[in-house]
Structure 1
Amino acid sequence: MIFLPPYSPELNRIELLWHKMKHEWMAFKARTTKILEADVGKILDGFGFGSGSDCRMTFC
């Protein structure tokens, strides 16, 4: 049996995705709420696991 802490962001796929979105796919700039929602929506629309996607992520 392996003890896991109550919160392990390195094991949570959504945390890995959000980190990649913030640090690789989005430019560092100030945004309003509307612009942030639009930028995140654009990334999620282009997100996928295949080679034809604009934003790719592997869980290896």
Structure 2
Amino acid sequence: MPDAIEPNGHCRRSIIGALDFGKNALIHASHTRTVKGRRVVEFIEARLLKDDGKLTVIVLDNASIDHSIIRVTLGHWFIEHKTLLFYLPPYSPELNLSENVWKHFKYHWLRFVTWTKETIDAELAELLNGYGSKRQVNFS
């Protein structure tokens, strides 16, 4: 008789992330629920907006959640933080370098283990926080 596998309780995580190419760093946040437009705005405001007086351009793919950022917010980001959003053309994942990083996470660096509710956050933190030091992608 084959071995039986007992299913674990639901322990899904959604990751939102951005690459800082200047520092070769991955900026990320993990959520227990699906990432919606409000979470994208919170992520950008908490982790990506700078007040250093320099123009910052944030490049986004064409995911529908990225287009949920309202014009008032975009205007505020430009005036207060000198930050612009630039959207990549539709259906062009090859232009989104962070897609290459996510592919490496999923297919090369992710260990094939059964994560539990107790272990998933520590495993993800170790994996994501290792980008730039333990793991990196060569884009050249």
- For the aligned pair, the TM-score class normalised by the smaller chain equals 0.5 to 0.7
- Matched AA of 2:110: M
Residue 82 (structure 2) aligns with: none
* More moved, 10-19 vs 29-38: 29-38
Question: If each structure's helix is expressed as a fraction of its own residues, which one has the higher value?
Answer: 1
Runs of 4+ in 1 over 3 A off after TM superposition: 29-38
Residue 17 (structure 1) aligns with: 101
The alpha-carbon deviation at position 58 of structure 1 amounts to 1.3
Shift of the 15–33 alpha-carbon distance from structure 1 to 2, 3 Å rule, reads farther
Shift of the 6–26 alpha-carbon distance from structure 1 to 2, 3 Å rule, reads same
* Match among 125, 137, 140 for residue 41 of structure 1: 125
Q: What is the TM-score with the length of structure 1 in the denominator?
A: 0.61
Task: Give the fraction of aligned pairs with identical amino acids, expressed as a percent.
Answer: 38
RMSD after superposition: 2.3
1:58 aligns with 2:138: yes
The alpha-carbon deviation at position 29 of structure 1 amounts to 3.8
Shift of the 13–34 alpha-carbon distance from structure 1 to 2, 3 Å rule, reads farther
After superposition, the C-alpha distances for 1:33-60 in whole angstroms (9 at most, x for unaligned) are: 6644433321221111xxxx21121111
Q: Which has the higher contact order (CA 8 A, sep 6+)?
A: 2
Question: If each structure's strand is expressed as a fraction of its own residues, which one has the higher value?
Answer: 2
The alpha-carbon deviation at position 18 of structure 1 amounts to 0.6
In structure 2, what is the Cα distance between the partners aligned to 1:29 and 1:35? 10
Larger Rg: 2
In structure 2, what is the Cα distance between the partners aligned to 1:8 and 1:36? 31
